[in-house]
Amino acid sequence: MLAVRNLTKRYGDTTAVDGLTFDVQPGRVTGFLGPNGAGKSTTMRTILGLDRPTSGEALVNGRPYAQHSSPVREIGALLDARAVHPGRSAHAHLLAMARACGIPKARVADVLDLVGLAGAAGKRAGEFSLGMGQRLGIAEALMGDPGILVLDEPVNGLDLDGVRWVRDLMRDLADEGRTVFVSSHLMSELQIVADHLVIIGRGRLITEAPMADVIAAWSNTHVVVRTPDPGALAAHLKRADEPGRTVRIEHGDDGELLVYGLTAEDVGDIAYGAGTRVHGLRREEASLEQAYLEITETSVEYGARAGDQEKEHQ
């Protein structure tokens, strides 16, 4: 399990992470979502002991990374910047890691097999495609057979097959009971695989919740109704707006009404009760991407305003 507690990281005047607190539980894939520059990589680097917190802490199974006697057995990571000697083969690279970390040599072949690189074990890393490089990075993360995996944008630049492979692997690792923490700036990359989401903007926590709750909470799902008399129907629908139920109506193209806060059944019943003809009725679900943009809008707006104010002061 990972526990981030009131974590703040500043680089000079830049606050990359600002009082962040959340847990990452085993047995599920937790997506770490935030726009570019939100502080995801910084948080992950701090978890892995590569950056020192300005204040607060990041705990790996109850302790900071550096306090584990064999951290690679606790946590494995794929970070954006991977350093693999281009002249070294995948096998030699992992063998060096095994020696350095006290991992049995036999693990190298197992891990190469697991990530589908057994056939390319002797190839120099410098000749690897992006996808093969990602696989090698994941192999490295798995070397110590850790219970926790931290993956920073693992599908960046991968083709569809590669994306699918990473997704399946994350699912399998979580199903084995491991803690899987994966970052992305795109909801679309996480929506299929993540069970839980930690969403940040400008270094701050926006929400931590099950994926289904995030979708429900920020869903922009609405009902589209086509009628020859939109004005009258809109007036009737608006009457359903009452304490505890907010009904919002927008006028779309061709006299269509976009109704937020009511189900298609509600709209049909209200139209029937009012004696208004309905020529079409459908439910339109918001894309998760749109939901994500809504979530981060405030933090982006805040960023723009803060930047403007800074400029004004100069």
Ligand X SMILES: Nc1ncnc2c1ncn2[C@@H]1O[C@H](COP(=O)(O)OP(=O)(O)OP(=O)(O)O)[C@@H](O)[C@H]1O
Do residues 219 and 70 lie in contact, with contact meaning Cβ atoms separated by under 8 Å? no
Looking at the Cβ atoms of 34 and 137, the one nearer to ligand X is 34
Looking at the Cβ atoms of 37 and 64, the one nearer to ligand X is 37
Smallest distance from the beta carbon of 51 to ligand X, in angstroms? 8
Q: Residue 240 is which amino acid? A: A
Looking at the Cβ atoms of 14 and 21, the one nearer to ligand X is 14
Do residues 68 and 74 lie in contact, with contact meaning Cβ atoms separated by under 8 Å? yes
* Tokens at 235, concatenated: 């007036």
For residues 305 and 269, give the distance between their C-alpha atoms in angstroms, rounded to a whole number: 45
Interface residue list for ligand X (CB under 6 A): 11, 14, 16, 34, 36-42, 185
Looking at the Cβ atoms of 157 and 231, the one nearer to ligand X is 157
Looking at the Cβ atoms of 43 and 179, the one nearer to ligand X is 43
CA angle (132, 96, 130) in 5-degree steps: 15
73 to 45, 69, 114: CA distances (angstroms): 17, 9, 17
Smallest distance from the beta carbon of 125 to ligand X, in angstroms? 23
Looking at the Cβ atoms of 13 and 161, the one nearer to ligand X is 13
For residues 166 and 190, give the distance between their C-alpha atoms in angstroms, rounded to a whole number: 11
Smallest distance from the beta carbon of 19 to ligand X, in angstroms? 14
Looking at the Cβ atoms of 131 and 203, the one nearer to ligand X is 203
Q: Where are the beta strands (DSSP E) in the chain?
A: 2-11, 14-24, 28-33, 55-60, 75-78, 148-152, 179-184, 196-201, 204-210, 222-226, 248-251, 256-260, 280-284
Bridge-based pairing state of the strands 148-152 and 222-226: unpaired
Do residues 148 and 75 lie in contact, with contact meaning Cβ atoms separated by under 8 Å? yes
Q: Which residues of 17-34 are buried (b: 16+ CB within 10 A; e: fewer)?
A: bbebebebebebbbbbbb
Looking at the Cβ atoms of 89 and 183, the one nearer to ligand X is 183
Smallest distance from the beta carbon of 33 to ligand X, in angstroms? 9
Q: Mapping DSSP to helix (H, G, I), strand (E, B) and coil, where does residue 285 land?
A: coil
